[in-house]
Amino acid sequence: MRVIAIEEHFSHPALQSADALASLRRHPQLARVQERLEDVGAGRLRDLDAAGIDLQVLSHTVPGAERLVGAEAIQRATEANDALARIVAAHPHRFAGFTALPMREPHAAAVELRRAVDELGFKGALVNGLVDGHFLDDPRFRPVLSQAEKLGVPIYLHPAAPPAAVAGVYFSGLPQIAADHLATAAWGWHSETALHVLRLIVSGIFDEFPALQVVIGHMGEMIPFALARIDTVLTPISSKLRQPVADYFRTNIWISTSGYTTFPPLQCALAVLGADRIIFSVDYPYTPNEPARALLDNAPIDDADREKIAHGNVERLFGLS
């Protein structure tokens, strides 16, 4: 069975911030990932082989180009994307790429997305969290969304650290390490990304760009568990939308399994969304390959669904062969 993982991270000096490096060093359990983020050669390939993963779709770790502005943002995103293109070219059967975009310069970001797809062969773009405090339903980002739709490539919505105002209200008054984790991987990342994709729906983005495809990770960022209630509340007040809110998860939104290695969340996602919208991911190197692959191999699901999750769905979405 071919296995493709799509939320898999690397770092490049053009985009890796000093603050991010300091954060990794502050948390002993995360410090070890930096070496793996920088390894896009022999060590990473050994890890893939050991877990039986055939292909990683690489994206720059958070924070990315979204934090930069002006000419610096454009230049550094271009530099990181060119470096990733060389990585993919060196191992074209093991790696593919997501574009880093200078999102604070939306017109330049749209141009870079076209270049990365048409010239570098990338499979889409990954955007880390809010951009200068704004969600992607903000009108300024229409050029990027339009370009993705025209190119027929998805945008992967990945979490990022919360805005300072949010962090101050929600996560202050706690020991720093607990606040940092609660704001990010333990809870905050997932709730914010869930809100992000729901905003795209209720703001009418997928009606304006009906062919636009968006991927969210972490087994759907808690949405599968809550989708029935979300739909019951939002659909009756969203009369201008072309379809019920829940239906966008069958026409425009995909989820990946990144960071989740136990069966109950997958069971919920399968029951709510079905196997056709779920894509295997690891969240490497923040999550080890082996437990993610073990879930894929051992989950008590139909083999046809296992094949869809492992490779069939992403081949269909990305046009991979």
Q: Which helix (H) or strand (E) holds 298?
A: helix 289-298
Q: How far apart are CA 97 and CA 10, in angstroms?
A: 10
Report the 10 Å Cβ neighbour count for 302.
Answer: 11
283 is a catalytic site residue: yes
Which residue among the candidates 39, 207, 283, 297 is catalytic per the annotation?
A: 283
Task: Output DSSP code: residue 163.
Answer: P
Q: How far apart are CA 125 and CA 114, in angstroms?
A: 10
State whether the Cα torsion 233-236-237-242 is positive or negative: positive
Instruction: Name the one residue in this structure whose structure tokens are 């983020």.
Output: 37
CB neighbours of 200 closer than 8 A, spacing ≥ 6? 135, 136, 137, 206, 214
Q: How far is CA 290 from CA 51, 57, 298, 317, in A?
A: 5, 17, 12, 25
State whether the Cα torsion 221-226-228-233 is positive or negative: negative
The CA-based angle 121-66-21, given to 5 degrees, is 100
Q: Active-site positions?
A: 283
